[in-house]
Amino acid sequence: MLEIKNLHVELEEEGKQILKGVDLTVESGQVHAIMGPNGSGKSTLSYVLSGRDGYTVTDGEATLAGEDLLEMEPEERAAAGLFLAFQYPVEIPGVGNMTFLRTAVNAQRKLRGEEELSSGDFLRLIRAKAKTLKIDADMLKRPVNVGFSGGEKKRNEILQMAMLEPKMCILDETDSGLDVDAMKLVSEGVNALRSEGRSFLVITHYQRLLDHIKPDVVHIMADGRIIKTGGPDLALEVETQGYAHLLNEEA
């Protein structure tokens, strides 16, 4: 599904190298987790994959289902099936949540050459999906993320994910700022979306999210590279022993 080879990335302005040769393959239907200390390049990886400005790829490649991601505009990546759940979802005053989602869903369908959803179909779909995430009608009407609590913002991200039905979902520290109940709700939302044709890349500092979203593979990232890959046990190892010993191992 997602294939990253030898990816080298610099910050455009400072020329500072952040990713120093990332290799990663996520098979279809799998859930991979990336853990690592602050500044290891985890979030940069998610931004580069989704096409945010400010980064220069100096070497390597990234493909989604065989398509070259790095050549595409952000909206084309989305239409190709990539979705990034933001660590800090952005507030867009004056634009209703529902309007935004309908615009997004239909824009993607158009880019893929599919028919747009009628407003009736869209409404039925969003109501059903919002209900399972405990998002009420009021939240759907309100401007995008404006005045939402931390938990509401993250639930809204998952709602967008559910509506857009991406092939490859990247969750960037989705657990940050969430209490236990909210984390459970968000995790249930994610787990409901797990399927054979859909893969996940879960970026997190902490193992606790992985209690709820069980990964198939865990990667440890440090200083711009994946330094260790293992099963779910690797996350537990980090939880009990911290990153330090893994970093030492590497050295």
Partner 1 sequence: MALPQQKLDATGARLAAMSLPEGGAWISEARTSARARVEAMGLPHRRDEYWKYTRPETLVEPGAREASTFETYEPTVFGEIDRLKIVFVDGVYDAEASDELSLAGVEIEPLSEAGAKDIHWARDLYGVLETRGQSPVERPLAALNTAYAADGMVIRVTGKAEKPVSLVYLQESTSSDAIFHHVVKIEAGADLTLLENGPAAARLNKVMEVEIADGGAFHHVRTQGRAHERRAATHIFARLGKESVFKSFTLTVNGALTRNEAVIELTGDDAVAHVAGAALGDGATGDFHHDDTVFITHDAENCESRQVYKKVLRNGAVGVFQGKILVKDGAQKTDGYQISQSLLLDDDSQFLAKPELEIYADDVVCSHGSTSGAIDEEGLFYLRSRGVPKDIATDLMVIAFVAEALEEIEDEAIAADVLSRLESWLQRRRG
With CB under 8 A as the contact rule, the residue among 104, 125, 193, 247 that binds partner 1 is 104
- Neighbouring CB atoms inside 10 A of 40's CB total 24
Q: Answer yes or no: are the C-beta atoms of 33 and 187 closer than 8 Å.
A: no
Our CB check for partner 1 shows the closer of 110 and 124 to be: 110
Give the range of 13-21, 106-114, 213-221, 236-244 binding partner 1 by CB under 8 A. 106-114
Our CB check for partner 1 shows the closer of 2 and 84 to be: 84
Residue 9 makes contact with partner 1 by CB under 8 A: no
Q: Answer yes or no: are the C-beta atoms of 38 and 207 closer than 8 Å.
A: no
Residue 153 makes contact with partner 1 by CB under 8 A: no
Residue 51 makes contact with partner 1 by CB under 8 A: yes
Residue 50 makes contact with partner 1 by CB under 8 A: yes
Residue 160 makes contact with partner 1 by CB under 8 A: yes
Report which of 35, 72, 3, 21 is spatially closest to residue 224, judged by C-alpha positions: 21
With CB under 8 A as the contact rule, the residue among 6, 12, 58, 74 that binds partner 1 is 74
Residue 215 makes contact with partner 1 by CB under 8 A: no
Q: Helices (DSSP H) in 39-96: which residue ranges? A: 42-50, 74-79
Report which of 82, 52, 35, 51 is spatially closest to residue 227, judged by C-alpha positions: 35
DSSP H or E stretch at residue 164 = helix 150-164
Residue 53 makes contact with partner 1 by CB under 8 A: yes
With CB under 8 A as the contact rule, the residue among 27, 75, 136, 249 that binds partner 1 is 75
Orientation angle between helical segments 150-164 and 97-111, nearest 10 degrees: 30
Residue 92 makes contact with partner 1 by CB under 8 A: yes
Q: How far apart are the C-alpha atoms of 100 and 141, rounded to whole Å?
A: 10
Binding region for partner 1 (CB under 8 A): 50-53, 73-75, 77-79, 83-84, 86, 89-95, 100-101, 103-105, 107-108, 111, 143, 160, 164
